[in-house]
Amino acid sequence: MPFRRTTFSKFVIEDMRRKGSLHDPELAALLNDIQRAAKLIRAAVARNLLDAPGALVTTDRVVEGEPPTPPREIAQQILLSACEWGGQVCGILSSDMAKPYEIPAEYPRGRYLLVIDPLDGAANLDLGLSVGSIFSILRAPEGVTDPKPEHFLQPGRAQVAAGYMLYGSTSMIVITLGAGVHGFTLDREAGAFTLTHPNLRMPEATPTFAIDTARAPYWELPVRRFVEECQKGAEGPRGQNFQSRWIDSFVAEVHRLLFRGGVFLMPRDTTPERKSGELHRLYQANPVAMLIEQAGGAASTGRESVLDVKPGAIHEKTPLILGAKTEIARIEAYHHAHDRGEPLEFDAPLFKQRTIFRTA
């Protein structure tokens, strides 16, 4: 019955109890604060941000050198306000801040570092598409109470927990605490996130891929080969028809991937601005990669596991390819063969010059 559903808070506490000696009330409290922020951001999004907080944190937008959009500022302020006061974190890092956010002196410091992407897909708000927030929780190095940027530079495998909040026709929190992935849906009447998708597992094989085909002229050959083979369908080397999907909202793409499977590609390309990739390693790639792996999939740069790479800078970018393990292994094999100088010979008419005139 509805009143017996497991709430987000209850699930986290019970999960901590099952871990015995690893039980950590501070982590449970921090996750609960993140849940509270999710409710406030969802409400703001639903109101089209008309009832925004009056005082916003002034930050330097580091992405493309542009100022944060008001929706992202509002979401960031909500997350900071919800998580700064409880004594669980000693530092917070946002994708919209040039340096770590300092916890106000009047609040106690905790053992954790929180990394956030406040509102991914905010540019789609006026279209009514799903948007979301992404978070990653790391342990602060021993003895650190005033973290510097270098203290956040930990590989993805060091994450204690990670997840995202989805705001759309339904609102969800999808998290991993290092042992499986679990989805919680907001019951708006009760005002609580309840467990609706325990132990989420990605489908092992789904003939669906998602990539921004507008970037096709700049893809590396391994990516072009993979996409071309999929587009050839049942008559091609894959022997089956594929479907193409592209939502242009990262959180929504990941949500679809978790529930319906397939492959998501945001690879690096040959243009100067995207040679290192497009997604931020700390705020986007690492937390999502942890979710995908915990759900039975794989997350790669195209050449290696995303979670094994130690970041070199807090705003470092990376290519990201997510999906079924067999498909990720195929894509990595294409990249490795290309790097060894092996020819990737395939007929790619979609990438050749086209004309309406006949040729001899």
Alpha helices in the chain (DSSP H): 8-18, 25-46, 70-83, 221-231, 250-260, 286-294, 325-339
CATH code of domain 2-197: 3.30.540.10
DSSP state for residue 107 in the 8-state scheme: S
pLDDT tens for 248-266 read: 889 999 999 999 999 999 9
Domains of the chain: which residue ranges? 2-197, 208-347
pTM of the model: 0.89
Q: In this predicted structure, what is the pLDDT of residue 60? A: 43
Q: What is the radius of gyration, based on Cα positions, of the chain?
A: 21
Distance, in Å, from the CA atom of 257 to the CA atom of 292, rounded to the nearest integer, reads 9
Q: What is the mean pLDDT of residues 273-283?
A: 91
Q: What is the mean pLDDT of residues 74-90?
A: 95
Percentage with pLDDT > 70 across the chain: 87
pLDDT tens for 158-183 read: 999 999 999 988 899 999 999 999 99
pLDDT tens for 115-168 read: 999 999 887 777 777 899 999 999 999 999 999 999 999 999 999 999 999 998
Q: From its phi and psi, is residue 134 left (phi > 0), alpha (psi between -120 and 50) or beta?
A: beta
The topology under which CATH files domain 208-347 is D-Maltodextrin-Binding Protein; domain 2 (3.40.190)
Q: In this predicted structure, what is the pLDDT of residue 16? A: 83
pLDDT tens for 47-62 read: 765 444 443 444 444 4
Fold match between domain 2-197 and domain 208-347: no
Say whether pLDDT at 83 is over 60. yes
